[in-house]
Each structure stands twice: as C-alpha cells, then as structure tokens.
Homo-oligomer: A and B are copies of this chain.
Amino acid sequence: MTVDMQQLGRQAKAASYALRTFSTETKNRALRAIAEALEANQEVILAANAQDMADGKAKGLTPALLDRLNLQGRLAGIAQDVRHVAELPDPVGREFEQKTLPNGLRVRKRRVPIGVLGVIYEARPNVTVDVAALALKTGNAVILRGGSETLRSNVALVETIRGALEREAFPVDAVQLITDPDRRYVYELLRLSEYVDMIIPRGGNALHTFCRENSTIPVITGGIGICHLYVDETADQEAALAVVRNAKVQRPSVCNALDTLLVQESIARDFVPRVVERLTADGVRFRVDEQAYHVLAPAENVQAAGEGDWDTEWLDLILGIRVVPDLDAAIEHIRAHSTGHSDGILTRDPAAMQRFVDEVDSAAVYVNASTRFTDGGQLGLGAEIAISTQKLHARGPMGLEELTTYKWIIEGDGHVRP
C-alpha cells in the first residue's frame, strides 16, 4: 500500500485548525472516550498484537524487543494513562507577559498548539497511544510512524482512537498513522515542512542522526544520554555507593542511566574497589582506566577501557570508571564526552557543588542524587513526550507545555508606527 504523504499532511493541517478551537473540556471528553474505546476494543487490539508477536518471534527478535512489543496485560494501564492525561492542566490558551505600551498598544502572549507533529518511533506500540493523547490534549494533530514490527498493533490502536474521535465529533485526521513500513516515508515525512511543524524522533542514535541530517522541519533531538557522576573526596561514600548503584542498575536500558563514573584520585584506592564489589553483585561489568585498573584486583568482569568507551551509551549493565585528579579534570571529561543529558556530582563541598552546577552545561545537572530522575513523571511534569538534549525550544524532559508555542496578540485603536 502506498501512502500519499501530501494528503496526510493536508489532512493533518486541516484537523489542526479545528483542534485549536476546542475547549479543554471537549478535548478531555475525547481523551476519556479513547480510554473507553481501548478497553472496549481490547480483543481486536490484542489479536493484532499477538500476530505482531508471532511474526517477531519467527523473525528472531530479541526477548527485550518482544517485551517492548507486547501489549498483553498492559492495555488497562495504557487506558488509565490516557485518563491521567485528561486530568492534567491544559497549557493552551494561557496568556502571559501582558503589558500596555506607552503608546497605548495592548500586548500579550498566548500559549497555542504548535500545529502538526511528526513522531517517529520504534518498537513500542504504547507510544502510539501516549503520543496521540499528549498531542490531542495540547490541540496538536499528529502523524505517527511506528516501527514495522508493530504495524498491526499500531493500526488496531489508531483505528480505535479514530473511532472514538469520530463518535466525539472530533476531526479524525488529528491522529494519522503511516501504514506502509517502507522507510522512504520517514524521509518524506521529514521533508513535509509545508504541513508539519515539529519532528520528534524517539529511538536510538541512528534515528536521531537521520532526522537531523534529512529534516527540513525543526527536530527535537534527544533521548541519547552518556551520563556521568563525579565522586569527590568529600563525598559521603556510603550514600555515593547507593546513588551510583541506583543510577547504573535500577534500569540500565534507558537514557538517564549512568555510563561513566569519575572518581577523585585521592579516594580512588578506597572507593573504586568498593564500587566494583557492590555492583558486581548486580552483574555489572566494568571498563576502567589505567589508574582504576591498578587499584582493582583482577576479575573477569573488569577490563581496561578501550578507545571509544567514554563515548558509548551502554544501555546495559556496563559501567566505565575513570580516575581524575580534581573537579577541573572531571568537568573537562564531561565536556568532552557527555551528550548533555544528565550529569551529577556527589560531594559535601558547597564550593564544588556550585562550580559543578555553574560549569557543567547539561539539560539536567545533579547534586547528590541519581541521574535516573531525569524523567517528566519524576520531575512533576505529569507526562513526558521526549527528553531533549538540544538547546532550542525545550531542554530535558518535555511535558505538555513543551508541545505548545505562543503567539503575540497586539490590540490598538487604529495605531500606526511613527
């Protein structure tokens, strides 16, 4: 089946015009209708998902990928998440920076939807529902392009969503799915600048790079985290061990997990072996620099760091350890190797805290806490569409407000510029 991307774009744009006039209550009603429809339609959705799972197994997908793909037992939770989005405050329509200029012009800014979002993601079908709910809540139309492994699940989910929208007299083209798995449609979506206002890639480095290289539409780059913790000689070592362990092992497959531990030289002989001992119990393997290597007993799970290891997002139970003389060297390492996602210091020295916070320029900078908190839910946004590691528009976890823009409203009484 071929897809007419121009038509998808036109339809999305037209839907976005209607969406921006809907009240918060109308949008919330549609969200609740979607939640109900997901529950009512679960047989159809789970049957489609079972087919995707069967195909995935036959193709030899890894257990981790199959787990992401699986909707069995998860639909009720997904429906609840949609109801939760309905409960969140609506940023659209909020006015700010009101002022009356000396010439009498009345100026204000108003939060408005961005318009049309293009979201490109990989195996997880729950993202389909998540993204649709966040887009609708903020009055945006969305064109979705999910992974090919989960196409049947996505078709079933999007048909369910569009059915609910139709019953609520919402424009059904507010949510559209690219139903052809051909990769050229990703490229075409990235060039649809006449209709699409923002591209959000959710996936690995290759996807983000492809989007940055090929898009004529602004792209939110993010989700790639080479994260650091620096432990200095004043740190509470017992607390530091707990934070390092949490940052590395609590969920190693995600972007805010720890990749490289930097340890101040003066405590390395004592602290590095303690880290290795503690995290070995969790099955962690280590890539360590020469200084760390020298203070460790030989062990199967400890190897010398190789070229590129400091620039690797492990997404696995692997931890890089490097010994540095001082804070300057730690900051220098972070500047050279961080992706600007989440980096932290563990210290009891107020001057070191302040310098780290001032000089490390990452989306999230931590003092005495695990990097795992870089998450919209954890930081109180209520929801999260992405984690941005670029500097423009939004940085770090992006919630509902980051799916809006603003317009200037300027009212006069026949004002002309002198």
Asked if residues B368 and A415 are in contact (CB atoms below 8 Å), the reply is yes
Q: How far, in angstroms, from A107 to B21 measured CA to CA in the complex?
A: 34
Report A76-92 CB contacts with B as 1/0, cut-off 8 Å.
Answer: 00000000000000000
Q: Which residue of B lies closest to A250 (CB)?
A: B417
A40 — which chain B residues lie within 8 A by C-beta?
A: none
Report A368-393 CB contacts with B as 1/0, cut-off 8 Å.
Answer: 11101110001110000000001111
Asked if residues A396 and B379 are in contact (CB atoms below 8 Å), the reply is no
A379 — which chain B residues lie within 8 A by C-beta?
A: 101, 107, 408, 410
Q: How far, in angstroms, from A366 to B369 measured CA to CA in the complex?
A: 48
Decide if the interface of chain A is mainly helix, strand, loop or mixed. mixed
Q: Which of B218, B250, B373 sits near A410, CB closer than 8 Å?
A: B373
CB distance from A127 to the nearest CB of B (A): 21
A99 — which chain B residues lie within 8 A by C-beta?
A: 380
Whether A415 touches B365, Cβ cut-off 8 Å, given contacts A380-B99, A392-B405, A406-B395, is no
A:197-249 near B, CB below 8 Å = 197-198, 212-213, 216, 218-219, 236, 239-240, 242-243, 245-247
Asked if residues B411 and A364 are in contact (CB atoms below 8 Å), the reply is no
Q: Which residue of B lies closest to A16 (CB)?
A: B361
Asked if residues A416 and B250 are in contact (CB atoms below 8 Å), the reply is yes
Report A401-418 CB contacts with B as 1/0, cut-off 8 Å.
Answer: 000011111111111110
- Answer whether residue A70 sits at the interface, using C-beta atoms and an 8 A cutoff: no
A:226-278 near B, CB below 8 Å = 236, 239-240, 242-243, 245-247, 250
Asked if residues A416 and B372 are in contact (CB atoms below 8 Å), the reply is yes
Identify the A interface with B (CB < 8 A).
Answer: 17, 20-21, 99, 101, 105, 107, 112, 114-115, 193, 197-198, 212-213, 216, 218-219, 236, 239-240, 242-243, 245-247, 250, 335, 346, 353, 357-359, 361-370, 372-374, 378-380, 390-393, 395-397, 405-417
Whether A417 touches B21, Cβ cut-off 8 Å, given contacts A379-B101, A405-B395, A409-B365, is no
Q: How far, in angstroms, from A115 to B218 measured CA to CA in the complex?
A: 19
Q: How far, in angstroms, from A243 to B411 measured CA to CA in the complex?
A: 13
Q: How many copies does the complex hold?
A: 2
Asked if residues A243 and B115 are in contact (CB atoms below 8 Å), the reply is no
Q: How far, in angstroms, from A412 to B240 measured CA to CA in the complex?
A: 12
Whether A236 touches B408, Cβ cut-off 8 Å, given contacts A216-B213, A380-B99, is no
A17 — which chain B residues lie within 8 A by C-beta?
A: 335, 359
Which of A216, A374, A397 gathers the greatest number of chain B CB atoms within 10 Å? A216
Asked if residues A414 and B114 are in contact (CB atoms below 8 Å), the reply is no
A361 — which chain B residues lie within 8 A by C-beta?
A: 20, 112, 115, 407
Which of A105, A212, A364, A372 gathers the greatest number of chain B CB atoms within 10 Å? A105
Asked if residues B391 and A115 are in contact (CB atoms below 8 Å), the reply is yes
Asked if residues A414 and B236 are in contact (CB atoms below 8 Å), the reply is yes
A236 — which chain B residues lie within 8 A by C-beta?
A: 414
Q: How far, in angstroms, from A407 to B340 measured CA to CA in the complex?
A: 10
CB distance from A100 to the nearest CB of B (A): 10
Whether A392 touches B193, Cβ cut-off 8 Å, given contacts A213-B216, A243-B415, is no
Asked if residues B410 and A364 are in contact (CB atoms below 8 Å), the reply is yes
Whether A409 touches B112, Cβ cut-off 8 Å, given contacts A105-B369, A193-B212, is no
A413 — which chain B residues lie within 8 A by C-beta?
A: 239, 368-369
Known: A17-B335, A368-B415. 16 other contacts (CB 8 A): A105-B373, A193-B212, A197-B392, A213-B216, A218-B219, A243-B414, A246-B416, A250-B417, A364-B407, A365-B407, A367-B412, A368-B411, A368-B412, A370-B416, A379-B410, A392-B392
Q: How far, in angstroms, from A62 to B31 measured CA to CA in the complex?
A: 58
Q: How far, in angstroms, from A213 to B190 measured CA to CA in the complex?
A: 11
Q: How far, in angstroms, from A417 to B245 measured CA to CA in the complex?
A: 11
